[in-house]
Amino acid sequence: TETFDYVVCASGHYSFPNYPSFDGFDTFQGRVLHAHDFRDATEFKGKDLLLIGTSYSAEDIASQCWKYGAKSIAISHRTKPIGYPTWPKEIAEVPLLTKVVSNPEPDENGELEQG
């Protein structure tokens, strides 16, 4: 079970950002930011981040956010993980996001639905 404060879409630094679409994105109550608009990692200090994409921009953003104190960073990949064996323990590579669950309710075991 994972809960994130922010979602960063790291699909490249281009003139016209490509925002992926996932079920529930419209109800997500955190900030959704494209890599094109990323400027300063300090705003993510102490936050749990989900980066969608495995390009150079995802690597750069993950590294910067870790350096400036992000609590945890999950890098969500569609095709294959970046695969660095030396990522800091706060950075994990996970399969592609399938849906967003905002304000999920714990199940009978106190677990939150992963989304």
Phi and psi based region of residue 57 (left: phi greater than 0; alpha: psi -120 to 50; beta: remaining): alpha
How many C-alpha atoms does 97 have within 13 Å on its Cβ side? 25
pLDDT value at 22 more than 50? yes
Q: What is the pLDDT of residues 65-110, one digit of tens each?
A: 999 999 999 999 888 888 888 899 999 999 998 888 766 666 666 5
Q: What is the mean pLDDT of the chain?
A: 82
Q: What does the block give as tokens for 86?
A: 């030396």
Question: Bridge-partner residues for 72, per DSSP?
Answer: 48
Q: What is the rounded distance in angstroms from the CA atom of residue 81 to the CA atom of residue 43? A: 26
d(CA 99, CA 70): 23
Q: What is the pTM assigned to this prediction?
A: 0.74
